[in-house]
Amino acid sequence: MTMDSAPAESHGDLQRLVDALFAHDKRADRLDALVLAQAHDLDEDLLEVVSLLPPMPMNRVQFCDQVNSTLAAHGWGRRYGIVD
């Protein structure tokens, strides 16, 4: 895990994941997100963020709040970008 706060090469990958995850569905859970994250070959830090989501169905706002909370807790918002 890197603690650098400069934007990472994978900056924006989580936003693309959220957009893909909620393109056709109104709710998603951690397993849905993990499967899609692995299919998109997200880096190790981003897989960790997804793996820390609660195991419950969430709408897009709830999902983004959870992801952004984890990013903030790790100090990674600037590095990987927040999601909406």
Residue 66 lies in a domain: yes
Residue 65 lies in a domain: yes
**How does pLDDT run across 46-67, given as a tens digit for each residue?**
999 999 999 999 999 999 999 9
Residue 21 lies in a domain: yes
Residue 24 lies in a domain: yes
Residue 19: which domain range?
13-80
Q: Closest Cα partner for 53 from 67, 68, 73?
A: 67
For the chain, list residues with pLDDT below 50.
1-2
Residue 8 lies in a domain: no
Residue 6 lies in a domain: no
Residue 7 lies in a domain: no
The three-state secondary structure class of 54 is coil
CB 63, CB 28: distance < 8 Å = yes
Q: What is the pLDDT of residue 8?
A: 87
